[in-house]
């Protein structure tokens, strides 16, 4: 078990990625990615499509495997243990236990269509955490209120707008009381008039918990991010505060990217 812990545990570091490499066949999708995220920090990852930013996010809760390197969340290595320098994939129960501490919000919401909004939120607390149904219901109602949807508790996902679905999806992830929230392009599948309501919920959460957000929303990055990380071709090209990055990008590739998306 000892090798499950980071060499120098620093309790304020929530995510520590060290030299993460991943290949899809010959394609080097993640090229020596190293990144540290501290408690209650909000990190926005930017980059052109195909830059590996979503893949990296999905490695943090082991929805994707990695080929080498280490990812620690709360000091525990995610998805693997290491023996003689080799990564050995964890058993399913361990991986599930780790994922339960990491919330994830998907581009396509992925609400469970056969369950109501309230049941979507209660599902994992009841069946994974084994919390009593009455307690889980109370928590779920509080979370629905927090995302402004208490009136929609008994609606099914297909009766909700995209923005409402994504807010329920955020509440569903929060119901597990995660220490870290991952947002994978949470507004990319939304109609423009619904993006604001989702970003508002995310801004509410910012600095109350650790967040890693893959998004193109400059407004959100400027308003809520502590740090912007720019990725291209599977590498971290540049990182800094939103101010530094947006007004004075150091790298040529960052400048090119910004000039493309700001038009």
Which spans of this chain sit near another protein (rule: CB under 8 A)?
61, 63, 92-93, 96-97, 99-104, 106, 108, 110-114, 123-124, 127-129, 158, 169, 172-173, 176
**Residue number, 129 or 255, with CB nearest to another protein:** 129
CB of 72 to another protein, least distance (A): 18
Q: Which tokens go with 13?
A: 């570091």
- With helix as H, strand as E and coil as C, how does 143-172 read? HHHHCCCHHHCCCCHHHCCHHHHHHHHHHH
**Residue number, 156 or 246, with CB nearest to another protein:** 156
Q: Which tokens go with 29?
A: 């999708």
**Residue number, 102 or 195, with CB nearest to another protein:** 102
Give bridge partners of residue 232 from the DSSP assignment. 235
**Residue number, 61 or 254, with CB nearest to another protein:** 61
Give bridge partners of residue 73 from the DSSP assignment. 15, 76
**Residue number, 60 or 237, with CB nearest to another protein:** 60
Q: Which tokens go with 114?
A: 């056969």
Neighbours of 152 (CB within 10 A): 20
CB of 223 to another protein, least distance (A): 26
**Residue number, 85 or 92, with CB nearest to another protein:** 92
Q: Dihedrals φ, ψ of 260, to 5°?
A: -75, -40
CB of 140 to another protein, least distance (A): 13
**Residue number, 16 or 54, with CB nearest to another protein:** 54
- For residue 223, what is the enclosing H or E element? helix 218-224
How long is the chain?
A: 263
Q: Dihedrals φ, ψ of 164, to 5°?
A: -65, -40
Return d(Cα 141, Cα 60) in angstroms, integer.
29
Q: How distant, in Å, are the alpha carbons of 33, 90, 112, 161, 226 from that of 44?
A: 15, 29, 27, 25, 8
CB of 190 to another protein, least distance (A): 16
CB of 155 to another protein, least distance (A): 13
CB of 108 to another protein, least distance (A): 6
CB of 130 to another protein, least distance (A): 11
């Amino acid at each position: 078990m000892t090798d499950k812990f980071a060499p120098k545990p620093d309790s304020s570091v929530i995510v520590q990625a060290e030299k993460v490499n991943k290949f899809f066949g010959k394609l080097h999708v993640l090229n020596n990615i190293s990144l540290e995220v501290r408690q209650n920090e909000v990190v926005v990852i930017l980059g052109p499509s195909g830059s590996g930013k979503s893949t990296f996010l999905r490695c943090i809760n082991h929805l994707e495997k990695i080929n080498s390197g280490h990812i620690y969340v709360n000091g525990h290595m995610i998805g693997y243990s290491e023996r003689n320098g080799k990564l050995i994939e964890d058993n399913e129960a361990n991986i599930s236990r780790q994922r339960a501490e990491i919330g994830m919000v998907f581009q396509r919401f992925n609400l469970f269509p056969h369950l109501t909004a309230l049941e979507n939120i209660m599902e994992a607390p009841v069946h994974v955490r084994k919390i009593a149904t009455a307690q889980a219901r109370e928590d779920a109602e509080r979370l629905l209120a927090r995302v402004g949807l208490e009136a929609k508790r008994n609606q099914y996902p297909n009766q909700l707008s995209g923005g409402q679905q994504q807010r329920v999806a955020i509440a569903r992830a929060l119901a597990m009381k995660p220490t870290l929230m991952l947002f994978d392009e949470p507004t990319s599948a939304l109609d423009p008039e619904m993006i604001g309501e989702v970003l508002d919920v995310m801004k509410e959460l910012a600095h109350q918990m650790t967040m890693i957000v893959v998004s193109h929303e400059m407004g959100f990055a400027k308003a809520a991010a502590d740090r912007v990380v720019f990725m291209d071709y599977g590498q971290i090209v540049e990182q800094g505060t939103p101010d530094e990055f947006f007004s004075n990008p150091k790298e040529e590739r960052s400048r090119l990217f910004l000039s493309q998306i700001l038009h």
